[in-house]
């Protein structure tokens, strides 16, 4: 896929494949919760006719490639690969549209053993033996094309899917809870950072209960917990804003900011030590 082809993909369709739908719309204009920062006010505006977007909270905007690069923290080349894997489905305002339900059809699931996925974990410097305790490999189809990916299960039996060129999820999207002592709660944005933490500490399980949000859109779920919170959220703008939001309502410690302030996230940290 080249840049010209990528720009033909609807931003609305891309949001739908991420499991995100507009909270407000009028003709060709739509308002979404911003996917790359904490946003309670549906501040990201999309003009479908002009194929452009603007986040009024951060002042950022552009075309679909700009959006994919921000969400995935990647360059243009990687963004093109992400979009090439994006299901080409018709956008619908209805969450349970047939198109959306059938975007990803799981065909087979098994313990992690695929060499390409194992190599991907090696490249991210994640301990494979530890990863096998938490992720499996799933074979799935998108519009009859076959793919495979690491699969990390959430609390509602949906999956986060990752491989070298694809970042997505099955429905329903939700957070993941890993059992531990309840006195304190660890929170991570994504499962690769959680696995990176386990790799760094050379352990199969953290002492305290852990929540992997899988998306910052679930940050409000943490507010339901009265416990002390240890934040391993990313050190980017979105992660910092989410931490600030939680710090106004909870007893929370910024572990990421103290432990690796010069790195975006835990995985970036272990890849540079």
Q: Is 177 helix (H, G, I), strand (E, B) or coil?
A: strand
Q: How many Å is the Cα radius of gyration of the chain?
A: 18
Mean pLDDT of 42-52: 90
pLDDT at 94: 40
Mean pLDDT of 192-201: 98
Task: Give the CA distances from residue 19 to residues 51, 117, 120, 168, 201, in Å, rounded to whole numbers and listed in that order.
Answer: 19, 24, 25, 9, 33
pLDDT in tens, 131-179: 999 999 999 987 778 889 999 999 999 999 999 888 788 878 899 999 9
What is the pTM for the complete model shown?
Answer: 0.68
pLDDT in tens, 5-24: 888 888 988 887 776 778 77
pLDDT in tens, 71-122: 888 889 988 988 887 655 545 444 433 343 446 889 999 999 999 999 999 9
Domains defined for the chain, CATH in brackets: 3-94 (3.90.580.10), 100-169 (no CATH), 176-270 (3.40.1360.10)
Task: Give the CA distances from residue 82 to residues 6, 34, 67, 141, 171, in Å, rounded to whole numbers and listed in that order.
Answer: 10, 19, 12, 16, 19
pLDDT in tens, 217-260: 788 888 877 779 999 999 987 788 889 888 988 899 999 999 99
pLDDT at 130: 98
pLDDT at 91: 52
């Amino acid at each position: 896929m080249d840049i010209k082809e990528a720009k033909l993909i609807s931003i609305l369709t891309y949001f739908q494949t991420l499991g995100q739908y507009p909270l407000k719309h009028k003709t060709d204009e739509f308002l979404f919760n911003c996917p790359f920062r904490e946003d309670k006010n549906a501040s990201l505006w999309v003009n479908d006719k002009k194929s452009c977007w603007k986040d009024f909270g951060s002042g950022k905007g552009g075309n679909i490639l700009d959006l994919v690069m921000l969400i995935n923290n990647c360059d243009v080349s990687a963004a093109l690969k992400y979009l090439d894997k994006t299901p080409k489905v018709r956008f619908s305002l209805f969450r349970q549209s047939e198109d959306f339900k059938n975007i990803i059809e799981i065909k087979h699931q098994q313990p992690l053993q695929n060499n390409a996925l194992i190599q991907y974990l090696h490249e991210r410097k994640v301990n494979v033996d530890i990863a096998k305790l938490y992720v499996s490999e799933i074979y799935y189809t998108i519009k009859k094309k076959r793919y495979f990916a690491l699969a990390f299960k959430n609390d509602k039996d949906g999956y986060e899917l990752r491989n070298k060129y694809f970042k997505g999820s099955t429905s329903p999207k939700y957070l993941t809870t890993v059992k531990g002592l309840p006195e304190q709660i660890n929170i991570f944005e994504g499962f690769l950072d959680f696995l990176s933490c386990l790799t760094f500490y050379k352990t199969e399980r953290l002492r305290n209960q852990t929540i992997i949000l899988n998306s910052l859109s679930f940050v409000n779920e943490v507010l339901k917990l009265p416990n002390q919170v240890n934040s391993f959220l990313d050190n980017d703008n979105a992660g910092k804003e989410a931490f600030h939001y939680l710090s106004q309502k909870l007893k929370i410690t910024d572990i990421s900011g103290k432990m690796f302030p010069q790195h975006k996230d835990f995985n970036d940290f272990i890849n540079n030590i």
